[in-house]
Each structure stands twice: as structure tokens, then as C-alpha cells.
Structure 1
Amino acid sequence: FSLKASRYSSELSLYNHASRFCPEIHVGAMAHQMKSCHGFKRMIKDRPHQWGPGGLNNILVPVEAFHQENMFQDEIRHDQRFDFTRVPAVLELCHQAGAELPEGLLYRRDELCTAAEANNQNPAPLLSSELRLVGQRTLEAWERLRLGVTKLLLVYPSKVCENCSEVHVGISGHKARMCGVFKFEGWRGKHKWKKAGVDDLVPQKIVWHQRPHDPPILVDSGRDYYGHAPAVVELCVQVGARASPKYNCMMKEHGLAPPVQRDQAT
């Protein structure tokens, strides 16, 4: 699932803008002008963003986990943390479920990512009809990915830290002290594990949704009127793909447009 989504999403990455000082991204031809930047450490708020070009990892957020031969291995101790390879959590979940993964997919990911980035730098031109088809196939791959992960998590347990985004695929979490929340306290970086959900392994990365009746550039005065959507969904919708009706409420598809007078006043 994830390989298809990654391949098709890379074709659409030209519509992606990433903030230079916070994790927010914007999907669209022109980045929004809302003052919602909070900086690296969330020590500021209500600042305008400084936008730069986004990449595939801004849309499909990478989540990694330790790779084990099977989930019944002994817990990974802190002094063993460098003895285990870090792989995408979805691949590890599929591996634990018995999927046959090519060895190069697990151990040559850096080479594959470098090749993908090189292809993205010189994208082949696509017609609007071709781009719409790519968007629809990407959206279908995204939905299959999340549905598949949801089903696997019902059978194969996975854990996520309550205080950070660390994920572990297995019956119990590892003992590597890598949690930064309690770095200078008595916990010494130990994770506090809980049951993981699909959003922990496949983050949705919610972004602002730009509807046909919204202005070309989203501004602060219309913040209460604009909708939201997962970044992958918004990316595909921007090129003409049809999103599932389950996103209509979040996207405010039938909501009112912001008053023109407000935008002009700003």
C-alpha cells in the first residue's frame, strides 16, 4: 500500500509548501497567509509563516520502528538500540504479519529514497487528465493503506509512547530510553507506552482545505470558514480527484465562503 501511495504522491509534490520554522504545511498553488506559526519550540504564536518548498515526507510523515525477526523476541534493551535496524513502522507491521518483503526494501531504503528524490527534482510534465488520474489512484492507495493498517492492528499489537511519537511493533514496547519529555528527570528518557492506532503509524497531517468558492489565498479573516483535510487527500483533491464523502464534514464542502468585506478590510 505505502509504496503505491509514495510513488503517486511524489508526482504531485509541486503543490506542497512547508513552513521553515514549524511543522505546518500548505497544499495548493499559493501558500496561505494565516498567522499560525508557533516556531520550533512553540514559544511564539500568531506569527506569519515563511514558506519553502515541501517534499514527500511533509505529506507522508515517516514513522520508523525497530525491526525484529518476530514479535516474540526479548525486549530491546537500551544498550541494544544500535543493534537493530530502524524501518518504516508500516513495513515492520506487515513483516510481523507474515508479508514477504524484499531485503532491499528494508536495508537499502536510503538508496531508494535518494533515487526517488532525484526523480522528483526533474518531474515529467503531465496533462491535466493524467494528473487527475494520478491523484485518484493516490487517494485510493491512501485509503487502502489506512484500512489495511487498521485491520492489522486488530491482530498484531503495536505500541506508541504517550509523550512522544515513538512507535514499537510488538507485544510490549522496547526499553531504549529515547523519550525527550523526561530527559532531565527521574525517568531518564523511558517511554510510557499505550496501544497504537492507525493515526500513530500513518499520520494524517491535517492541513487547510481550499474549496472552489474560497479566495485564491487563504487569510486570517476566513479562518472560521475554511475546512481541513488530510494532506494526502487535499493534494489529490487539488488536482481533481474525488474524495470520500466521509471527509465532507471536515472539509466543510457545503459551508459558507468568508465575507468579502472582511478580506478587503485586512
Structure 2
Amino acid sequence: MSFGNIKLWRNKALILQEMVKGLRNYSSKSSLCVNLEKLRPLIMKRISQAKDDPLKPTLPVVREVLRARNALYVGVSTLIRHIPVWACKYCPEVYIGESGHLIRTCHGYRHRSKNKVHEWVEASINDIIVPVESLHLQKMFPDVNKHHERFDHQCIPAVVGLCLQVGVDVNDQSISSSPITPSFPNYDLKLIARQTVSAWEMLRSGVHKLLCVHPARVCKLCKEVQVGPSGHRARACGVLRDESCHCWKRAWVEDLVPSNVVWSRRRQDARVLVDQGREYYGHAPAVVDLCSKAGALVPSKYFCMMKVDGLSAP
């Protein structure tokens, strides 16, 4: 054997020896084994302490989310008193303008038809801000609720339920107060619209941050939301003919704070949107479109959706 081969063999032997030193022997006869019976109570104690302890770094974000939510509801409720908003009688379609559009996207009563003209009625605040509710759970990591326990908890807004998981006091006066105060008679709608758009963006941004820390679930079929690491077991999914269990997946911002995208009329469009020009018209979230009609500047990220500089219908 040459000297080079001997040297290579010694190097491989040293490497193998170091690898063997790093291995642990999990045999019950070894003196270095860990007693899992003694370690298990310690692990469970650490887990139980972490379950009910709120994450303090997220408390400022929660307060910001609750203030933005209050400001959003105050601003939208003020704007819809002065700007006409319409909702379809048979479908969730919403339009903001002097009169409803003529685009045929209605499915009719109980989805018995399609491509029908909408029948417009006066809209409310719930048509602009879609309410999303979830079961109110007392603990941050509760046990999975069974079907017979579905009436033991009350339903609250999903955003409020997400904030309660952190341990914040919702009844705090500093949180419940809104920066929008339209109590005086000659208030500026343009200023309120700007504050409402800012509250909308702040709300969605804060919910996105909270969902990165505190999990939430949404059903793939019926879009029911459950705040917590796992969904409940109540067989209340009404998509199928027979009520069945939900098919849970991870929830995102759009599940807790829906955009509620509507048709948006631009300056170059006709006074009434017609069905022949549906490929030219733009879209926007209902809150953003409402605020833009009141004179607020739309954030640049919505320009592509709204087709601000697009062609008008022929």
C-alpha cells in the first residue's frame, strides 16, 4: 500500500470516528438515555403556560386593528348617507352611483336563472362591509368543539375574535374611540373619505400581521371562519344537500376582511354601465370605490384593477 493511500485511509477513519461520537445511543441499557416519564410533566407544564399567555408584542397591532375597524364603520356609515349605494335584491351585487348598472350578472331568485338584469334596492352598511362572524372561544387554544356544543358559544365578528385571542380589552375607551368624528353639521366628506381609506388599509394590514402569529381556519366550501388553531366539528356546512362537517384550511386576510369587489365607474365611462362594455369597465373594493366617489385619492395598488387609464366602451 502506498503512502498516499495510507494517509487517505487514516483521514477516513478519523472522520468516521467523529461521526460515531456524535451519535446517541437510545437503548434502554445505556446510562445516557433520557427518562421520558420524568420529562413529560415538564414539557406539558411549559405548553400549558404558553397556551394562555398573550403575546405582548402583538398588543399594539391589536389596538391599531380595533381602532381602524371602528373608524371604518363610522366613516362608511357617514358616507352612505350622502352617496347613493345600491344592492341587488336577489344576489350580493353592490353598485355605487346615481343608479344601478345594466350589466347582466344576476342569477335571480335562488339561482334559478343567470345573466339577468339586477333589481336594485337601497343598500346598507353590511352590503359595503361584509360581516364575517365566528364562534367566541374563551381560551387561546381550546379543545375542538363537538357538534352538540355548537350552541354553547355566541358568534362575534371574526376580527374581534382574533383580537381577543391576544388578551386585549375590547371595552377600553382608548380603543373604542374613533378618529372620525362627524358630529358637527358642516363636516368635510373628502376628509372623512381619506380617513376611511386609511382605516381600510390599516385594518387589512393589521389583520395580516395577526394571522401570521395567531392561526385561523376557513371552510373551503361554505367560507365559515373559525379563529383558532383548529376548526370546530359542528356539522353545519350547508353546501351539500345534507349538512356535513367543514373542510378546514388556513384563513387569510380576504377570509376575515373580504374586499367585496364591485364594478367601478370611471370618468371616461358612460353615465350608466351597460352589458356590452363589461370588458372595458374596471373593478374596485366597495369601500375604496365609495371613498373615491367622495373625493379621496385611491391607493396606487388599485389602479390596475380599476383600469384608470383604460379605454371606454364603444
* Aligned position for 1:56: 125
* Aligned position for 1:8: 75
Q: Which has the higher contact order (CA 8 A, sep 6+)?
A: 1
**TM-score when normalising by structure 1:** 0.85
* Aligned position for 2:312: 257
Distance in 1 (CA, whole Å) between partners of 2:212 and 2:230 is 15
* Aligned position for 1:164: 222
* Aligned position for 1:140: 198
**TM-score when normalising by structure 2:** 0.72
Question: Quick one: structure 1 residues 189 and 95, their matched pair in 2 at CA, closer, same or farther if it must change by over 3 Å?
Answer: same
Is the CA contact (8 Å cut-off) linking 1:31 and 1:51 kept in structure 2? yes
How much has 1:41 moved relative to structure 2? 3.2
Is the CA contact (8 Å cut-off) linking 1:180 and 1:189 kept in structure 2? yes
Distance in 1 (CA, whole Å) between partners of 2:109 and 2:165 is 35
Distance in 1 (CA, whole Å) between partners of 2:105 and 2:139 is 43
Distance in 2 (CA, whole Å) between partners of 1:227 and 1:48 is 19
How much has 1:42 moved relative to structure 2? 2.6
Establish whether residue 18 from structure 1 lines up as the match of residue 98 from structure 2.
no
- The DSSP-based 3-state class of the residue aligned with 1:144 is helix
Is the CA contact (8 Å cut-off) linking 1:160 and 1:194 kept in structure 2? yes
How much has 1:47 moved relative to structure 2? 0.7
Question: Quick one: structure 1 residues 250 and 204, their matched pair in 2 at CA, closer, same or farther if it must change by over 3 Å?
Answer: same
- The DSSP-based 3-state class of the residue aligned with 2:110 is coil
* Aligned position for 2:301: 246
Deviations 1:224-261 (A, max 9, x none): 110000000000001110111000000000101111xx
Amino acid at match of 2:261: I
Large movers: runs of 4+ above 6 Å = none
Is the CA contact (8 Å cut-off) linking 1:97 and 1:152 kept in structure 2? no
Give % identity: 45
Distance in 1 (CA, whole Å) between partners of 2:71 and 2:109 is 32
Deviations 1:168-198 (A, max 9, x none): 00010011111002342xxx42100000010
Structure 1: runs of 5+ lacking an equivalent: 105-122, 260-266
How much has 1:40 moved relative to structure 2? 4.1
* Aligned position for 1:73: 142
Task: Identify which of 93, 99, 105 aligns with 2:168.
Answer: 99
Amino acid at match of 2:245: K
Distance in 2 (CA, whole Å) between partners of 1:198 and 1:166 is 14
* Total equivalences in the alignment: 236
**CA RMSD across the alignment:** 1.8
Distance in 1 (CA, whole Å) between partners of 2:185 and 2:109 is 35
Deviations 1:52-94 (A, max 9, x none): 0000000100000000112211111111111101000000001
Structure 2: runs of 5+ lacking an equivalent: 1-67, 174-182
Amino acid at match of 1:156: H
* Aligned position for 1:214: 269
Task: Identify which of 254, 259, 267 aligns with 1:204.
Answer: 259
Establish whether residue 226 from structure 1 lines up as the match of residue 281 from structure 2.
yes
How much has 1:165 moved relative to structure 2? 1.6
